[in-house]
Amino acid sequence: MANRLHEVFGSRPVLCDGAMGTSLYARGIFINKCFDELNLSQPELVRSIHEEYLQAGAEVIETNTFGANAFRLKRYGFQDQVEAINRAGARVARQAVEQLADKQAGTAYVAGAIGPLGIHLEPLGKTSLEEARAAFTEQIRGLVAGGPGVGVDLLVIETMPALNEAEQALLAAKATAPDLPVIVMVTVDEEANCLDGTTAELAAARLSALEPDAIGINCSVGPATVLTAVERMSEATTLPLAVMPNAGMPRAVDGRNIYLCSPEYMASFARKFLKAGVQFIGGCCGTTPNHIRAMKSAVRALEAQKTSVQTTVKEAIVTETPPPPLAERSKIGRLIYEGTFVSMVEIVPPRGIDTRKELEGAASLAALGVHAINVPDSPRASARMSAQSLCIQIQQHAGIETVLHYTCRDRNVLSIQSDLLGASSIGLKNILCLTGDPPKLGNYPDATAVFDVDAIGLVNIVNRLNHGLDIGGNPIGASTGFSIAVAANPGVPDIDNEIRRFAYKVEAGAEYAITQPVFDLRILEVFLKRIEEFRIPVVAGIWPLTSLRNAEFMKNDLRVSVPDSILLRMQQASSPEQARAEGVRIAQEMIAAAKPMVQGVQVSAPFGRYSAAAEVLVEVLAQKAKPVPVAANEGASVGQL
């Protein structure tokens, strides 16, 4: 494929502009304003900044449309003006270029700036790749509206934190504006890797495979790291390279973030970029017309010439380590695979450091024949001992396998990977992937929630680790070998959304599911019917009620479906002892009725009453474990079972 940038610029160095937001902020536009909307409300202000960059020597100026996509504009109420804002951005930049042409000889070009959507995409977020591509497509239509000489001359996809988002933007550009050259740039961290963990080499190879006209790095943590990253990129592609770094890391000075890299410092790196083979050079956050002017002088002085550009790419080599079969990963994995009806009991970590009660309870349950202990991760956003710690203690002292509940509430994607690698290395092989209760439900409602990903994204992370890859696609060596469970709530009011999310979890790699407490068999039957086409083994949650108040709490506070007939039975109990006994009987009835439909039960132990959980399971434990009928696993693949 002919490189369209090469046709326009040849192989000579090309200087681009610097930051738009920095200049707007310097002119009194506060950061809580929508900078992109200024194309409509203050076009003269935006145009004056474009003109300053052109006068400083920039040959390519970017439109003021970095955040002009529907997702980012929605924060300001402008989501219905995507096309108008982008069209105006192209028009304002075009006017600046035409005014320059009238004043002096030379030609400048308008690049349509396309920034990230500001959200997580699948597999780590709720937004699908198709939705992301549609948002980029909408923005690009505005940038190219009006055709040649009116819309933009090329497209610059920039500051992409994740490779899959960069790929969707690039696919949208090629489909929407196939005749325009496209530069696509990712941003990197201190280690010169993309923010999703992808190495610079792998990013270069994957992006090059989609045939943009140039690839590169922008924003990031300053020119030094960008130089390292682009040197690594050059090893995996022969496409033209582009760099537009920040003016270093910002520093807080009198309450304001200030970028301290001088124009001379940026100019010195412009020379280094050219020696590294970079063709397109500009600036990002913190750079001003003064920086671009100094970089222009450096480019002229060096007079670097890039050799002829080819479009061949080197194939990225990704070493994947498939996980062992489910039956070989853990005892629970083997039982699930074999179709055995499994029994689990939930033990909540203590609020302090004394685990004697929990360990004694686990040991007694193990002696009765319970298959595994489930350990929640600070349920209801309460401050408790870590679930991982209690899991290890139970396995070491009680000799029974555990299922670690793991939530996304308290951890970013770096911490998630660290925790999971550590958990695997110390023998925790069963993970229940959960989004987690928000802090407002707990005893520290002002605590900060993370939620970098939700349960669907977490399943994707665990599944990648199971295949020997981190979330950036980098090899980690051996498979983590987790058996992957997910939660399901058959009684949620929006059952269509629950079914849709459950399907995503299965697609992401879930191998079995554990439901919320079941009190209404009709709801469970409907749920199982709805998931037949993508069904994996399902373990029913069972909760032995302790009182009418407990039943009302389940129904009204936790939004669990508790039929009126159950409430009436608990109401008729004449003493606390009778109420607890009635709760056990109800739980036993639920197990007996649900057993033909599911592949196991998880019994909770309300208020640490492990004897009540054992009593609920007495009939199950008394029977010799038998495989459940094949029909109960219908729809699951061999790998999932």
* Contact in structure between 636 and 350 (CB atoms under 8 Å): no
Q: Which helix (H) or strand (E) holds 513?
A: strand 512-517
| 3-class secondary structure per residue, 1-14 | CCCHHHHHHCCCCE
Sign of CA pseudo-dihedral 83, 86, 91, 92: positive
Three-state SS at 594: helix
Residues 6+ apart with CB under 8 A from 194: 160, 161, 162, 163, 186, 187, 188, 200, 203, 472
Residue length of the chain: 641
Annotated binding-site ranges for Zn(2+): 219, 284-285
Q: Is the peptide bond before 289 cis (omega within 30 degrees of 0)?
A: no
Q: Which helix (H) or strand (E) holds 70?
A: helix 70-73
Annotated binding-site ranges: 219, 284-285
257, burial (CB in 10 Å: exposed 0-12, middle 13-18, buried 19+) = middle
Cα 352 from chain centroid (whole Å): 33
Q: Which helix (H) or strand (E) holds 61?
A: strand 60-62
Q: Amino acid identity of 581?
A: A
Of the candidates 626, 541, 557, 627, the residue with the CA atom closest to the CA atom of residue 590: 541
Q: Which helix (H) or strand (E) holds 259?
A: strand 256-259
* Contact in structure between 455 and 431 (CB atoms under 8 Å): no
